[in-house]
Amino acid sequence: MYVAVKGGECAIENAHAWLAEERRGDTNVAELSLAQIREQLSLAVNRVMAEGSLYDRDLAALAIKQARGDLIEAVFLIRAYRSTLPRFGYSRPVETGEMACDRRISATFKDAPGGQVLGPTFDYTHRLLDFKLAADGEVPEAPVSAPREEATPHITEFLQSEDIIEREPASDAVPGDLTREPMSFPADRAVRLQSLTRGDEGFILGMAYSTQRGYARNHAFVGELRIGKVPVEMDIPELGFAIEIGEVELTECETVNQFKGSKTVPPQFTRGYGLVFGQSERKSIAMALVDRALRWEELGEDNVGAAAQDEEFVLSHADNIQATGFLEHIKLPHYVDFQSELELVRKLRREAAQLAETLAAKEAAE
């Protein structure tokens, strides 16, 4: 006999206890430390920082541990924590041109001031499972050389001196902040870039890939990809000048894209831009491609109806915390609504059956 179910509270508590046990796994296996996650799963940490919009490796490591390695869940933990933090102010724009680069490559020039620096990349590894790692993760020390002395200017600067690439219009306007103001469309480029940099890596990747396969292709060359640390400075009102408050690791990608030009503008290359926390190459390249695709209108291009050109479509669906929340909420109880549908479908079927009967009777009579 059905008795109205009580005990949701108890069920929730028990579920949480079980979850905690599952998270820990076999207790005969040593527990993961946050330092281990931070140091040895650093690309996962980077992704959580980028999509969580909070630069803190230790918190990201904690989130990954708590989330059992589910990175979207970890991003969610970071976002929820982030929204409780007071905001003291805004930093000055970081100077990526002065980045201490661990990696810096250009696909458009064989060499350039600052050089091609491969850095720690998977690019030319052969993807063979390294069974030695299963037994022993110790690695020989990598060779060391002194850092290059010369400056590493942006590759696009060389193109700009020739005026062969569009100039980024300088502006002192304060960019919008999508965590403080509701998103509205059309969104300006600053807000679009904010949305893309915290957007889901898989979604941005898929959108970028679609442009490469011909859905609003924009002929992107990786003018430059650089990864490294930049200092973060903040103006301190009491002091009257800016001081360095820390440094962040960033990945920056600038693409050089084709542009046909017009009657008034001679042919000129255009730009796509990607900037992401941590070493996040795939994400920053993808971001630059999607940024470029979304710029069709300001560059006077045709809207070919491709998904990646559709600002409202891209920005409304890039956030994995929003997406996974709404997707997964359909597992919550919906029996009130389902009941109303049930009644409606039963009624419509009854009426349809009656109608069929009436018609059959009429036919028989004729």
Partner 1 sequence: MSDYNFAYLDEQTKRMIRRAILKGLAVPGYQVPFASREMPMPYGWGTGGVQVSAAALTPDDTLKVIDQGADDTTNAVSIRKFFEKTAGVATTEETAKASIIQTRHRIPEAELTEDQILVYQVPIPEPLRFLEPRETETRKMHSLQEYGLMHVKLYEDISQHGAIATAYAYPVKVEGRYVMDPSPIPKFDNPKMEMAAIQLFGAGREQRIYAVPPHTQVVSLDFEDYPFEASKADHPCDLCGAEDSYLDEVILDDAGNRMFVCSDTDYCRSRRDAGHTGRLGEEAA
In angstroms, give the least distance from the CB of 259 to partner 1. 26
Q: Is 240 exposed, middle or buried (0-12, 13-18, 19+ CB in 10 A)?
A: exposed
Residue 235 within binding range of partner 1, rule CB under 8 A: no
Shortest distance in whole angstroms from residue 179 CB to partner 1: 7
Q: Long-range pairs for 183-186 at CB < 8 Å and ≥24 separation? A: 183/315, 183/316, 185/311, 185/312, 185/315, 186/311
Shortest Å, Cβ 163 to partner 1: 35
Q: Given candidates 88, 124, 131, 185, which one binds partner 1 under the rule CB under 8 A?
A: 185
DSSP single-letter state for residue 166: P
- Min dist CB 180 to partner 1, Å, is 5
341 touching partner 1, by CB under 8 A: yes
Q: Are 193 and 291 in contact, with CB atoms under 8 Å apart?
A: yes
Is 17 a binding residue for partner 1 by CB under 8 A? The answer is no
**CB under 8 Å to 228, separation ≥6 — which residues?**
99, 100, 101, 102, 103, 104, 249, 250
Residue 267's CB is within 10 A of a number of other CB atoms, namely: 10
Among 18, 347, 353, 361, binds partner 1 (CB under 8 A): 347
Rg of the chain over Cα atoms, rounded to whole angstroms, equals 27
Smallest distance from the beta carbon of 195 to partner 1, in angstroms?
A: 13
Binding to partner 1 (CB under 8 A) within 306-335 occurs at 312, 316, 321-322, 324-330, 332-335
Q: Report the C-alpha gap between 109 and 106 in whole angstroms.
A: 6
Residue 125 or 184: the one with the smaller Cβ distance to partner 1 is: 184
Sole window of 7-15, 95-103, 161-169, 289-297 interacting with partner 1 (rule: CB under 8 A): 7-15
Q: How far is the CB of 286 from partner 1 (least distance, A)?
A: 23
Q: Which of 95, 188, 351, 357 binds partner 1 (CB under 8 A)?
A: 351
Q: Is 30 left (phi over 0), alpha (psi -120 to 50) or beta?
A: beta
- Write down the number of H helices and E strands in the chain: 13, 4
Q: Does 131 bind partner 1 (CB under 8 A)?
A: no
The answer to whether 99 and 250 are in contact (CB under 8 A) is: yes
Of 76 and 259, CB closest to partner 1: 76
User: Considering the rule CB under 8 A, would residue 305 count as an interface residue with partner 1?
Assistant: no
Select from 100, 339, 357, 361 the one that contacts partner 1 (CB under 8 A). 339
In this chain, which stretch among 103-111, 174-182, 238-246, 358-366 interacts with partner 1, using CB under 8 A?
174-182
Closest CB to partner 1 among residues 87, 110: 87
- Preceding amide of 186 cis, omega within 30: yes
Nearest to 247 by CA among 37, 55, 38: 55
Q: How far apart are the first and last CA of the chain?
A: 52
* Conformational region of residue 226, where left means phi above 0, alpha means psi within -120 to 50, and beta covers everything else: beta
66 vs 116, beta carbon nearer partner 1: 66
Q: Does 180 bind partner 1 (CB under 8 A)?
A: yes
8 lies in the binding site for partner 1 (CB under 8 A)? yes
User: Nearest approach, Cβ of 290 to partner 1 (angstroms)?
Assistant: 19
Query: Which two structure tokens, joined as six digits, stand for 196?
Result: 């893309």
Quote the least distance from Cβ 81 to partner 1, whole Å.
Answer: 8
Q: Binding string to partner 1 for residues 23 to 62, with x set by CB under 8 A, is what?
A: ----------------------------------------
Residue type, 314: V
Q: Which two tokens stand for residue 292?
A: 């470029």
Shortest approach of partner 1 to residue 207 CB, angstroms?
Answer: 17
| Token pair belonging to 227 | 């990864």
Q: Which residues of this chain interact with partner 1, rule CB under 8 A?
A: 1-9, 11-12, 76, 79-80, 82-84, 86, 179-186, 312, 316, 321-322, 324-330, 332-337, 339-344, 347-348, 351
